[in-house]
Amino acid sequence: MLKQLNVSAIKDGTVIDHIPTKALFKVVQILKLDEFNNMVTFGNNLDSKVMGTKAIIKIANRYFEDEEVNKIALVAPNAKLNIIRNYEVVEKRVVQIPEQVNGIVRCFNPKCITNAENVSTKFQIISDKPIEMKCYYCEKITYENEIKIK
Amino acid sequence: MGKKDLISITDFSKEEYLKIMELSQKFEENPSQSLLKGKVIATLFFEPSTRTRLSFESAISRLGGKIIGFSDSNSSSVSKGETLHDTIKMVSNYADMIIMRHPMEGSARYAAEVSDVPVINAGDGANQHPSQTLLDMYSIMKTQGRLDDLNLFLVGDLKYGRTVHSLLMALSQFKNPIFNFVAPPELAMPDEYKLFLEQKGIRYFEHLEFNDIINQADIIYMTRVQKERFIDPVEYEKVKNIYILKNDMLANTKPNVKILHPLPRINEIHTNVDSNPKAYYFTQARNGVFTRMAIISHLLNLQ
Ligand SMILES: Nc1ncnc2c1ncn2[C@@H]1O[C@H](COP(=O)(O)OP(=O)(O)O)[C@@H](O)[C@H]1O
Ligand SMILES: [Mg+2]
Ligand SMILES: [Zn+2]
């Protein structure tokens, strides 16, 4: 069966699919894709049967460790990773919200020391659906809809 | 690591609470000590708080220690723009312990991470103030002879009041507490604490008034209802009048009941209560010195 790809094909690499359109640039930030030298292509506002619209990211010649990619679960909990080898999807992976999140997210509490001084944030995930993360420093909770990438 | 800090009340175990109670009593019996001889304690008050600072400094002096520090950030390097990180790094070279109050929440936990010496949180914004909770517990222990099987009335601002939240967390470690929450709906105990009690199988009751029920109480813990929390000043006036504890209300209360308040009080306890032997808030403040002596010597492992 011949499939038309919305974003051009890669020979080897990773396709991150089912990213909420709002989260595309957050995923770019979290994975620091702006610092990559590999070919990276993006598609946004693509039609999706499940999500209405979605975003997709294709990264040539790059595979991710779970620990690295699980961070995107904070903004794209339903993202799917497709491992491409020789133009074929050889493996599909889902992302999992880690128990502990270091850096990445800003604490929602404006009076938190992490927003006043150059302190890397640390959160404990106390609920995954919806996401609730407790700040190690100020002990306040940042909720899913308040998540801002640092 | 090896070093021990006190940042939140939950940093201590039940055994440690009991040890603090025991040490507080020991220091109250003999307040002139030399355990801190040759030691220097830094009291860094980035935000002024006369009561808490003097209580800590009295505790250090009674233990025979020396004090360095500042009582507001104008007289410190902060006014020159130094970061908290750098201030703590510097001071931890000069002192054997740091006691700090800071307006930013989480500042004490961060300071503990940066510092090589133990840190005591003397208040980080609206977050934690654990020595207050320990002195509340000591006051309860002293007047009731136990921390188990107590009927506790928490009255006033139960939503924003950090002292009642910390006290609830600490006392939930002990056997069979009964909590009675007295607050207007706008200032009710947050769900997360009620859920916590339910999960631990601890009984609690919520009330809008307390006049008819305080006869059950062993402890009446009064807090200030803050005017600025109310959008409608009329609502505040209504609530303010409900929660004034007056002397005649204590007529039929239990003989062992004690009235506690973290102070400062505004008008929630009528001054005609002050001379009633059931009023305990001024002694409670005095107990703070012995509890702080206990916390300092426990963290520094001085026995
Ligand atoms: N060689 C390739 N290069 C780039 N993207 C690809 C390649 N193969 C598959 N994809 C993309 O990876 C995702 C998963 O592919 P596939 O398993 O075929 O489809 P689906 O999971 O949607 O049924 C799709 O978005 C598809 O466009
Ligand atoms: Mg698909
Ligand atoms: Zn925080």
Q: Which of B37, B51, B85, B146 is catalytic?
A: B51
Q: Tell me, yes or no, if the two domains B9-128+286-299 and B130-284 fold the same way.
A: yes
Closest Cα partner for B172 from B201, B145, B141?
Answer: B201
**Which protein residue's CA is at the shortest distance from atom 9 of ligand 1?**
A89
From first to last of the 303 residues of chain B, give the pLDDT tens digit: 589 999 999 999 999 999 999 999 999 999 999 999 999 999 999 998 889 999 999 999 999 999 999 998 776 666 678 899 999 999 999 999 999 999 999 999 999 999 999 999 999 998 999 999 999 999 999 999 999 999 999 999 999 888 999 999 999 999 999 999 999 898 899 999 999 999 999 999 999 988 889 999 999 999 988 777 777 888 788 777 678 999 999 999 999 999 999 998 988 999 999 999 999 999 999 999 999 999 999 999 997
Most A CBs within 10 Å, among B46, B82, B110, to test the A interface: B110
pLDDT digits (tens, 9 = 90+) for A68-95: 999 999 999 999 999 999 999 999 999 9
Residue A5 has pLDDT above 80, yes or no: no
What topology is assigned to B9-128+286-299 in CATH?
Rossmann fold (3.40.50)
Classify residue A35 as left (phi > 0), alpha (psi -120 to 50) or beta. Answer: alpha
Q: Are B122 and B288 in contact (CB under 8 A)?
A: no
The DSSP bridge partners found for residue A143 are A132
Cα(A80) to ligand 2 centroid in Å equals 9
Using only C-alpha atoms, what is the Rg of chain A? 16
Say how many C-beta atoms besides its own lie within 10 A of residue B3's C-beta. Answer: 14
Q: What is the pLDDT of residue A2?
A: 56
With CB atoms and an 8 Å threshold, state whether B106 touches A117.
Answer: no
Residue ranges per structural domain of chain B: 9-128+286-299, 130-284
**Which protein residue's CA is at the shortest distance from atom 11 of ligand 1?**
A15
Cis bond upstream, residue B264 (ω within 30): yes
pTM of the model: 0.88
Say how many C-beta atoms besides its own lie within 10 A of residue B133's C-beta. Answer: 27
Q: Are B48 and B114 in contact (CB under 8 A)?
A: no
A119 interaction partners in chain B (CB closer than 8 Å): 85, 110
pLDDT digits (tens, 9 = 90+) for A31-66: 999 998 989 999 999 998 888 999 999 999 999 999
pLDDT digits (tens, 9 = 90+) for A117-143: 999 999 999 998 899 999 999 999 999
The number of the ligand 1 atom at minimal distance from the alpha carbon of A11 is 1
Q: How far apart are CA B265 and CA B280, in angstroms?
A: 13
B125 interaction partners in chain A (CB closer than 8 Å): 111, 138
**Which of B104, B126, B128 faces A116 most closely, judged by CB atoms?**
B104
Q: Which residues of A touch chain B, with CB atoms under 8 Å apart?
A: 107, 109, 111-114, 116-119, 135-140
Q: What is the pLDDT of residue B239?
A: 73
Q: Which of B101, B159, B224, B258 is catalytic?
A: B101
Look at domain B130-284 and name its CATH class.
alpha beta
Is B278 designated active site? no
Using only C-alpha atoms, what is the Rg of chain B? 20
Q: What is the pLDDT of residue B76?
A: 64
Residue A1 has pLDDT above 60, yes or no: no
Residue with tokens 């959160």: A123
